[in-house]
Amino acid sequence: MTVQVRHITILGATGSIGTSTLDVISRHPEQYKVVALTGSSQIERLAKACIDHQPAYAVVLDEQAADRLQGMLADHAPDTCVLCGADALTRVATLPEVDTVMAAIVGSAGMPATLAAARAGKRVLLANKETLVLAGGLFMNAVRDSGAELLPIDSEHNAIYQVLPIAFREHPYRTSLAAAGISKLLLTASGGPFRTRSLDSLHRVTPEEAVRHPNWSMGQKISVDSASMMNKGLEVIEAHWLFNAPASQIQVVVHPQSVVHSMVEYQDGSVLAQLGSPDMRIPIAYGLAYPHRIETGVRPLNLFEVGRLDFEEPDLQRFPCLALAFAALESGGAATAVLNAANEIAVAAFLSGQIRFTDIPVLIEKTLSALPCLPADSIESLLAADGEARRVASQELATCTC
Ligand code: NAD
Ligand code: MG
């Protein structure tokens, strides 16, 4: 069998997802060629990845970082062209020689290049859920119009993708869940490190405790989002766009073992699930190799070691971020963009010790109430909503009574 070599750009190559992607690629050098790698602050790590993979391009945020990287690559990757700035991210996401883009920048900073990759008709491996939370309608239209191939990498959405009927999952905008015989999407959530903590004790938790996830090893922002359950809220919005699913057909199920990555309930009563060890190399490899399967280095799931699988209802009183996300999705317009931006500001403030963990939902709610119905009909209006939400949330922080 002749193997089609895939040519890849990794946006956010130095992060948790980026590093796992390079790990999977390294196991199959004959099948994958890295064309471009991008990073922001961890220049040493980016330099090492460039030396290992010899990409044609490396992208960093500014000229100072570009000079540093250039210096580190001079002897060991002299053919790598170092670029900088947001335009360079878009450029490497749309290169004609690239067929596959891993979108693994964290936060709304990842949206423009991810959208550009979709508009250019690439295979988009979507880890950056914030793109869908911020600009889901525009992004899905771009995928449909360009014929881009969209493969979800977030483990829950990847699990759902794997157990959906093929015709539906590849073109969800052509039909509805009901027409495909589906009654519900069951999105599993580990419950994070504070699943069993009392409401009274949550205001005392520290950033160190919040980023210590019981099952997954991830970047800082998504780890805090998992602790507040905002991550699940963002994932509800993500599922809404990816699978053309109304909020009423998405149910969050707390499952502390993180073995069942999500499920689909069909109208005949069947529930199909995807199971595996909690290791992001599984969904990453699925996206890279689709429709084939490749080896990932992940230890096979040992059900005897797992022993039991538990399921619980989420507690919206202790985790109000989840309710805020459902409410923003129901509000429509730019409400989810406002939610996302306010959350990014709140998480950064919590990580730097400015606010308490329990202030995160308070700040988000205040921002949402201050900006009730901003339009979401263009990329400009969404970026304006994102900017406005950051301004309001920062102002609230400055006069913080929370
Ligand atoms: P991370 O913090 O480990 O890495 C983020 C990457 O983005 C780094 O390469 C960093 O250099 C880059 N970056 C940060 N700010 C940037 C900016 N302003 N401009 C350009 N690049 C920037 O994050 P992660 O955990 O790898 O998550 C990446 C994305 O994948 C997030 O959207 C997250 O929600 C999603 N995701 C992650 C996991 C996981 O297990 N880590 C699982 C599901 C989804
Ligand atoms: Mg997830």
- The environment of the single-atom ion ligand 2, i.e. residues with CB closer than 5 A, is 154-156
Q: Do the beta carbons of residue 205 and residue 194 sit within 8 Å?
A: yes
Q: Is 151 helix (H, G, I), strand (E, B) or coil?
A: strand
Indicate whether 402 pLDDT > 70. no
The number of the ligand 1 atom at minimal distance from the alpha carbon of 225 is 34
User: In what helix (H) or strand (E) does residue 59 lie, and over which residues does it extend?
Assistant: strand 57-60
Indicate whether 4 pLDDT > 90. no
**Which ligand is nearest the CA of 281, by number?**
1
> pLDDT tens, 255-287?
999 999 999 999 999 999 999 999 999 999 999
Confidence tier at 401 by pLDDT (50, 70, 90): low
Give 139 Cα–ligand 2 centroid separation in angstroms: 19
Residues of the chain above pLDDT 90, percent: 92
Indicate whether 1 pLDDT > 80. no
> pLDDT tens, 165-223?
998 988 888 889 999 999 999 999 999 999 999 999 999 999 999 999 888 888 999 99
Mean pLDDT is lowest, of 100-104, 166-170, 192-196, 338-342, for 166-170
* pLDDT at residue 337, rounded to an integer: 96
Q: Which two tokens stand for residue 3?
A: 């193997």
Give 77 Cα–ligand 2 centroid separation in angstroms: 34
Q: Which two tokens stand for residue 162?
A: 């794997």
* pLDDT at residue 177, rounded to an integer: 95
Indicate whether 97 pLDDT > 80. yes
Which residue's CA is minimally distant from atom 27 of ligand 1? 106
Residue matched to tokens 């205040």: 366
The helix-helix angle for 230-242 and 220-228 (nearest 10°) equals: 100
Give the whole-angstrom CA distance, residue 355 versus residue 351.
8
Residue matched to tokens 């919206």: 316
Which residue's CA is minimally distant from atom 2 of ligand 1? 219
Q: Between 322 and 375, whose confidence is greater?
A: 322
Which residue's CA is minimally distant from atom 7 of ligand 1? 105
Give 94 Cα–ligand 1 centroid separation in angstroms: 20
* pLDDT at residue 372, rounded to an integer: 83
Indicate whether 65 pLDDT > 80. yes
Give the whole-angstrom CA distance, residue 275 versus residue 260.
4
Indicate whether 243 pLDDT > 70. yes
Q: Which residues, including other chains, have CB under 8 Å from residue 134's CB and lie 6 or more apart?
A: 108, 111, 336, 337, 340, 341, 382, 386
Confidence tier at 231 by pLDDT (50, 70, 90): very high
With a Cβ cut-off of 6 Å, ligand 1 is lined by 12-18, 39-41, 61, 104-106, 109, 127-130, 154, 216, 218-219, 221-222, 280
User: In what helix (H) or strand (E) does residue 149 lie, and over which residues does it extend?
Assistant: strand 149-152
The helix-helix angle for 335-351 and 230-242 (nearest 10°) equals: 150
Residue matched to tokens 């670029």: 83
Nearest CA to 347 out of 238, 256, 233 is that of 233
Amino acid at 118: A
Domains delineated in the chain:
6-152 (3.40.50.720), 155-236+244-275+301-317 (no CATH), 332-402 (1.10.1740.10)
Q: Do the beta carbons of residue 155 and residue 255 sit within 8 Å?
A: no
Beta partners for 109? none
Q: Do the beta carbons of residue 75 and residue 52 sit within 8 Å?
A: no
Q: What is the pTM of this model?
A: 0.96
* pLDDT at residue 375, rounded to an integer: 87
Give 177 Cα–ligand 1 centroid separation in angstroms: 30
* Average of per-residue pLDDT across 302-325: 97
The helix-helix angle for 335-351 and 320-331 (nearest 10°) equals: 150
Q: Which two tokens stand for residue 216?
A: 């997954």
The number of the ligand 1 atom at minimal distance from the alpha carbon of 129 is 32
Give the whole-angstrom CA distance, residue 247 versus residue 242.
12
